[in-house]
Structure 1
Amino acid sequence: MDRGEIAIEAQLTADKGFYDVPTRIFIYGTSDRTRRLELEERLKADKLLKATQLKQTRAESDAQRTMGLKSGRSSAGLGTTNGLVEPEPQPEVSLEQLAQGSETVQFRNGEDFVNSIAMDEDKLSQMPMAEQPKSLSATLLPYQLQGLAWLTAKENPTFPAPGSPDTVQLWKRDAQGRFVNVGSRFAVKEAPRLASGGILADDMGLGKTLQVISLILGGGPGQTLIVAPVSVMSNWEQQIERHVLPQQAPKVLIYHGAARQSVGKSLKDYDVVITSYGTLSSEATSGNMFKVKWRRVVLDEGHTIRNAKTRVAVAACALEAQSRWVLTGTPIINNVKDLHSLVKFLRLTGGIEQSEVFNAVIARPLGYGDKNGELLLQALMQDLCLRRKKDMKFVDLKLPPKTEYVHRISFWPDEQRKYDALMDEAKGALEEFQKRSKTGQKGRFQSVLERLLRLRQVCNHWTLCRERVEDLLRFLEEKGAVVLNEKNRALLQQALQLAIESQEECPVCIDDLKSPVITYCKHTFCRVCIAKVIEVQHKCPMCRAELSEDKLVEPAPELSATQEEQELDTETKSSKTEALLKILQATLKNQGSKVIIFSQWTSFLTVIQKQLDEAGYVYTRIDGSMNPQKRDAAIHALDKDPSTRIMLASLAVCSVGLNLVSADTVVLADSWWAPAIEDQAVDRVHRLGQTRPTTVWRLVMEGSVEERVLNIQSEKRELVTKAFQEKQEKGKKTKETRMADVLKLLA
């Protein structure tokens, strides 16, 4: 254990006696075959495990890791000249013709993992209703009145009677009146503290905001703090102004930006304070918000804190409040561990709030397919989480239908040659990495990721990957740290952007990068993670180089459309942009139809923007380079200007919190790894208030990695998590997890 070769976990299996504690012990070891065999011999020699037990677990481990790959090698690359031969212009096509050539799909079939553990539809439909709030000018729908009653009840939870089979937050009372946690097996005589609050996980567009406003109005005296993405802070203020009677309206403050310094000490003068996750993180645990004992704290788009180790999650958990609420349409984005941070924020007791216990009794059993883990999670979620879907009969939104198409596009001949060359390079780089990874050579896996990223970008337009950043690859493969001059800083920023777009994980917290930075020794981390490491040991945890705050490099600022246009060839069409223009041409023939075009790359939005200019379309745009005022103006143009019928939208910025019901068509120009992000984007349009049938087009290059991304999305929708059950070094776990996706994409 001291050498880190094994990890041991233990679970109580019954009440502890005076002299004994009934316990089941779990031993986790390495996934490396050679080292595992050596470890098995020592475990047998020490009589810790039997040969039959080891044989069984070895077979299970081998089955989990079985996967194949066809490899190839080539030194072919992309040139810096155009070389594309565009086909002759095609005649206009109708929407009906486009639909006939596309595949109709239903990405969300109502059987997602959260549905399987949440309360069923019959029970939801029979929930009690609250009275219509008198201070609300809007009339709540029946399911919203049920939601208000549930919110009110969860702010005042009570224990079950002694001997009752019911549990509350996994606590139950035995016949002797003791309080026993059915998850951790903790047992106490005195009543533990119950968490006040929960998770409102209604489908996007069902009015979570309005239900919480109703709770604030009728939930007694005290202040409410609402933490939301920057893009939706103003929406909260507008919703309160629109739906609350003027004489009953609470006093609202938006606490954000430089102006907050002047009002920071007077927060107690306001009934509702609205702030951003960035502001919360910047104040850490010592700012003005942490000096107030809030009546309730509400995290809008609360999945933002799904990594409990990030600075913003730590700050959210440190806020003092009587009640704590999480609003999210996607409580699970990647895997069930996303829920742990929410449980910790809610301040549950009994041990389940600790990551080790949550992992041991819920996450790991689920990974093994153990029903006990699912039963525990089901009990917890049915108690703490309210989730209604738009397609439930009792919700009865009467939303217009939504039709989704996968529109497959064939590469033009020159595009196909460039794609094939990149695919051969990617397979060759992967094969080389697999052969030489044990030697510890730097930069090899980054080389695979760089080529995979270029493969995905060339599916959109060749100019996105015109710069093959060969300098970057050579730079990454050089050993040691570098001097932070202007050239090296720019190369480090390119390497950091590659890590971000490839969705690498932080080696410290083994989760998605949050506020990512790169060190002068070329390793990427979450800022809060590496800051803690620097504070403790002043060395890089990957290479042991001396490290300080001034050796960290942050991402380059996001370019505006004008700046990007100067660096891109935006004149030339691609097969995908031509297909997109055909969809626009056919859609905009319908009187009043408006279109949202989502892409994860703002550079591709710039390419599309140039071609919209040439075609004479009026459009608006939202991306990360714009301040809140410009974003609000862009949404206002889409809503109010009849001539503005197209919005270009960054998927990362527009997937949360916005109301885009003035549009009726969504085009997903490229696929995002986490399907929940795309689903959120679509639900900005197909939501309460939509009066027209909604059409969703997913543009996919035929026979490319884009089709395989759809397969990975399908797995994530079913929550087939990439669970590695063995104890491994953190770096290896991260690498193997990413390798699994890379193998699927390049197979």
Structure 2
Amino acid sequence: MSRHPRAHAGGATTSTSRQRRPVDNTGVIPQLAKAAREVEAAAQRGRVSPSNRIKFQVIALLMREERQKAKEEPSLTESERAEALKRLDGLASILAKTAARDTSLIALLQPEAPVSEQARALRKQMLFAGGVDVVVDEAPSGPVRLEVVPPEIAERQVVPVSVTARVRSNPFHAPRLDLATPSNGHYSALSNWELLGPILRAFETGAGGGSASMELPQAPRFDRLSPTGRELMPHQVRLLESVRQGHRSYLLADEPGLGKTAQSVLAASIADAYPLLCVVPNVVKTNWAREVERWTPRRRATVISGDGRDIDAFADVFVVNYEILDRHLGWLQKIGFKGMVVDEAHFIKNLASQRSRLVMQLANHIRGRVPGEDPLLMALTGTPLINDVDDFKAIWQFLGWLDGDRPAPALMERLEENGLVPSDAGFLAAARRSVIDMGIVRRRKIDVAADLPSKRVVDMPVELDGDVGRSVRAAERALVARLLERYERMIKAAGLEPGTIDDERVRMIARQEVEESKAASSGESIFTMLRKIGGAKAELAAEYAGQLARSAGKVVFFAKHIEVMDRAEQTFAANDIRTVSIRGDQSATARQAAIDAFQKDPEVQVIVCSLLAAGVGINLQASSDVVLAELSWTAAEQTQAIDRVHRIGQEEPVTAWRIVASQTIDARIAELIDAKQGLAARALDGSDEATGSSDSIQVDALASLLLDALRGGR
């Protein structure tokens, strides 16, 4: 006797009974065909939503089941069997074409792709609609393999000798299954809603206003956490007090210079999250080891470099840079980490990159190794947003707040407590607050360090004269002409009137130009143009920095390209100004020596820094003036550079002097960098400041050039 489908919405049964229907009109296959056409249409319109991604995966799952049934069902005639297989082949063709439009869907076609609770629920619904009266819930596919190394990096794995000794001496990492809390399987009003899109929109619009920072407990009257001779600031103690009270996951988005490293080092001590894994940019590995020694002197840190031969596998804190994770993934999964910190967490924003995948695998391993126990997970970045609120997704996934494109159980529970669904008026503000309360901590210097001087950015326009200036302007004209030609061809092909200005087509041309420029090894492009402008500005910027050094004291000089740094150092030497430098090819020892000389030696007047090598993790408070000889490609990169100086310990107002080549694309980029600041202000600080475009600055700059040309501005 068959039962009503709703009777099985929350539980499993012990048998399966699928009633056969005429293949041509009823059954599961027509349901799959309808769903496949819906997903195909969504892919044709553009980006596939999370709900359609789930539908795509369920179609693939049921197609495999129906194919197996068609091959093995003895009651089917040969003609019925052939017809069913033919229709399934047609469905497979639709899925293949859809995946070709959105290649991220390909992974969902794999039989081993993880199946979410939402996918299982949709599978049931589609089977019921196809006439299947009783459905067995698919059991989870077995225990998660925690120590898997992806095949593409398996050959690169190294295992330091001391690691083998530690693993053998510590067979203590067995999962404590008694602590695992099973899901209660209760019905949720949010189960069938697409939630990630509205949640991201809540941050994009700053719904509810106010700073994106969770409520933290008040600082205790006495600081009992700092080692002798050191003192924490109240805002640091408040976060650490929340760790003491049991909170274990944080997006620590304090503005640069507010001591995020010290907070995370001490958080690990309070949570007893040892051994602790710290994944950091290469240039700050040594600084991290110093901070561990400074704030937790009884704990040992080891820095992983190269093949890791010299590491101390019995250390408490393991510091590794992103670039070599692929060589050390295997043994890192055997140490039994109880905590993980990711510094400059915006580095993992691209979930498709190997860097991000390896970080996620390590985080999932740490969470899965000891079910029921909360490891300490901290993502540190003063600039979590680069271009788009989608940048949040990778960080939230690392912290365990998201499960793919769905809220993880802990976040879902907070959303349910609000009693609202996305169609309700107050949902966005409530959802933003729910995510914030998961552990977003954002403090600005102006809010927590009243005695910290303000900072300002001042543009210093310069004219590019001579052959170099003429060359730059000629290259810019040639670039605009190429963009115009492409745009006019596109307008003609679309059958639009000449002179039509279509903003979306303008951006399509700009994006195409940027991608081609990245792939090109030669020729004029936006990248070569900015490099040429940087070279033309180098001497002028160095001369200005020299004047500052003589009149105001020490100066930090930032550039992007080696040739600009070289030319600047030549100019300083010619003017008898003593310098040191920080470059990407330096050893950690040489880098630290340069920093110490600049900070302590009164004869050293200027430190010449690479934006990439010195933009994060170092303190240069001996200066209060920064010269930006070349502009960044992101507002975040500029902020990071300035905040090497504008940090706790600074005693004077900080001024950043941007050297801008007037009447060139350089000036546009300076404006765009400022405009991009609005996104972070709205999402993190509840500001009503305009956000501007979510495209990269390169795309925005080219689109601006093309629009000006179309409007007759050139």
TM-score by length of 2: 0.58
Mapped contact 1:460–1:604 kept (Cα < 8 A): yes
Question: Which residue of structure 1 lines up, in the alignment, with residue 217 of structure 2?
Answer: 127
Deviation beyond 6 Å, 4+ runs, structure 1: 112-115, 121-126, 437-444, 734-738
Which secondary structure does the structure 2 equivalent of 1:403 belong to?
strand
AA at the equivalent of 2:317? V
Mapped contact 2:214–2:436 kept (Cα < 8 A): no
Question: Which residue of structure 1 lines up, in the alignment, with residue 227 of structure 2?
Answer: 136
Q: Whole-Å Cα distance in 2 between the matches of residues 115 and 686 of structure 1?
A: 29
Larger radius of gyration: 2
Aligned counterpart in structure 1 of residue 287 of structure 2, from 235, 246, 250: 235
Matched, 1:610 2:551: no
Q: Whole-Å Cα distance in 2 between the matches of residues 283 and 336 of structure 1?
A: 31
User: In 2 relative to 1, CA 449–271 (structure 1 residues): closer, same or farther, beyond 3 Å?
Assistant: same
Matched, 1:418 2:471: yes
What are the within-5 Å matches in structure 2 for residues 173-212 of structure 1? 196-212=248-264
User: In 2 relative to 1, CA 461–374 (structure 1 residues): closer, same or farther, beyond 3 Å?
Assistant: farther
Which secondary structure does the structure 2 equivalent of 1:577 belong to?
helix
Which secondary structure does the structure 1 equivalent of 2:382 belong to?
coil
Mapped contact 1:118–1:385 kept (Cα < 8 A): no
Question: Which residue of structure 2 lines up, in the alignment, with residue 523 of structure 1?
Answer: none
Aligned counterpart in structure 1 of residue 434 of structure 2, from 374, 379, 393: 379
Matched, 1:314 2:369: no
Question: Which residue of structure 1 lines up, in the alignment, with residue 304 of structure 2?
Answer: 255
Mapped contact 1:117–1:382 kept (Cα < 8 A): no
Which secondary structure does the structure 2 equivalent of 1:254 belong to?
strand
Q: Whole-Å Cα distance in 1 between the matches of residues 673 and 301 of structure 2?
A: 40
User: In 2 relative to 1, CA 741–141 (structure 1 residues): closer, same or farther, beyond 3 Å?
Assistant: same
Mapped contact 2:303–2:319 kept (Cα < 8 A): yes
Q: CA deviation at 1:406?
A: 0.8
Deviates more, 1:269-278 or 1:449-458: 449-458
User: In 2 relative to 1, CA 627–221 (structure 1 residues): closer, same or farther, beyond 3 Å?
Assistant: closer
Mapped contact 1:709–1:745 kept (Cα < 8 A): no
Q: Whole-Å Cα distance in 2 between the matches of residues 10 and 256 of structure 1?
A: 39
Mapped contact 1:117–1:381 kept (Cα < 8 A): no
User: In 2 relative to 1, CA 312–11 (structure 1 residues): closer, same or farther, beyond 3 Å?
Assistant: closer
**Structure 1 residues not aligned, in runs of 5+:** 13-28, 30-111, 158-195, 363-369, 463-573, 722-733
Mapped contact 2:546–2:577 kept (Cα < 8 A): no
Matched, 1:432 2:477: no
Matched, 1:277 2:322: yes
**Deviations for 1:211-263, whole angstroms, at most 9, x for unmatched residues?**
2222222223631111111211111222232334x5xx1122222224x1354
Mapped contact 1:306–1:342 kept (Cα < 8 A): yes
Which secondary structure does the structure 2 equivalent of 1:239 belong to?
helix
Question: Which residue of structure 1 lines up, in the alignment, with residue 634 of structure 2?
Answer: 674
Matched, 1:578 2:578: no
Matched, 1:340 2:393: yes
What are the within-5 Å matches in structure 2 for residues 438-453 of structure 1? 445-446=516-517, 450-453=524-527
**Deviations for 1:299-334, whole angstroms, at most 9, x for unmatched residues?**
111111111121121111112322211011111122
Which secondary structure does the structure 1 equivalent of 2:266 belong to?
helix
User: In 2 relative to 1, CA 375–609 (structure 1 residues): closer, same or farther, beyond 3 Å?
Assistant: farther
**Deviations for 1:141-190, whole angstroms, at most 9, x for unmatched residues?**
2221111123344xx45xxxxxxxxxxxxxxxxxxxxxxxxxxxxxxxxx
Mapped contact 2:301–2:317 kept (Cα < 8 A): yes
Matched, 1:300 2:300: no
Mapped contact 2:668–2:701 kept (Cα < 8 A): no
**Structure 2 residues not aligned, in runs of 5+:** 1-36, 53-97, 99-201, 367-374, 416-424, 495-507, 682-693, 709-714
Mapped contact 2:276–2:338 kept (Cα < 8 A): yes
Question: Which residue of structure 1 lines up, in the alignment, with residue 531 of structure 2?
Answer: 457
What are the within-5 Å matches in structure 2 for residues 205-604 of structure 1? 205-220=257-272, 222-244=274-296, 246=297, 249-258=298-307, 260-261=308-309, 263=311, 267=313, 269-284=314-329, 287-319=330-362, 320-321=365-366, 322-349=375-402, 352=405, 376-392=431-447, 395-412=448-465, 414-435=467-488, 445-446=516-517, 450-462=524-536, 577-578=539-540, 580-590=542-552, 593-604=553-564
Mapped contact 1:460–1:577 kept (Cα < 8 A): no
Q: Whole-Å Cα distance in 1 between the matches of residues 631 and 645 of structure 2?
A: 18
AA at the equivalent of 2:441? L
TM-score by length of 1: 0.56
Question: Which residue of structure 1 lines up, in the alignment, with residue 191 of structure 2?
Answer: none
What are the within-5 Å matches in structure 2 for residues 12-27 of structure 1? none
Q: CA deviation at 1:294?
A: 1.2
Q: CA deviation at 1:588?
A: 2.1
User: In 2 relative to 1, CA 430–350 (structure 1 residues): closer, same or farther, beyond 3 Å?
Assistant: closer
User: In 2 relative to 1, CA 585–648 (structure 1 residues): closer, same or farther, beyond 3 Å?
Assistant: same
Mapped contact 2:620–2:644 kept (Cα < 8 A): yes
Which secondary structure does the structure 1 equivalent of 2:525 belong to?
helix
Q: Whole-Å Cα distance in 2 between the matches of residues 418 and 210 of structure 1?
A: 49
Which secondary structure does the structure 2 equivalent of 1:578 belong to?
helix
Aligned counterpart in structure 1 of residue 237 of structure 2, from 145, 164, 167: 145
Q: Whole-Å Cα distance in 1 between the matches of residues 582 and 328 of structure 2?
A: 27
Mapped contact 2:460–2:660 kept (Cα < 8 A): yes
Q: Whole-Å Cα distance in 2 between the matches of residues 674 and 426 of structure 1?
A: 22
Q: Whole-Å Cα distance in 1 between the matches of residues 289 and 696 of structure 2?
A: 45
User: In 2 relative to 1, CA 353–648 (structure 1 residues): closer, same or farther, beyond 3 Å?
Assistant: farther
Q: Whole-Å Cα distance in 2 between the matches of residues 700 and 413 of structure 1?
A: 17
Q: CA deviation at 1:681?
A: 0.6
Which secondary structure does the structure 2 equivalent of 1:5 belong to?
helix
**Deviations for 1:39-75, whole angstroms, at most 9, x for unmatched residues?**
xxxxxxxxxxxxxxxxxxxxxxxxxxxxxxxxxxxxx
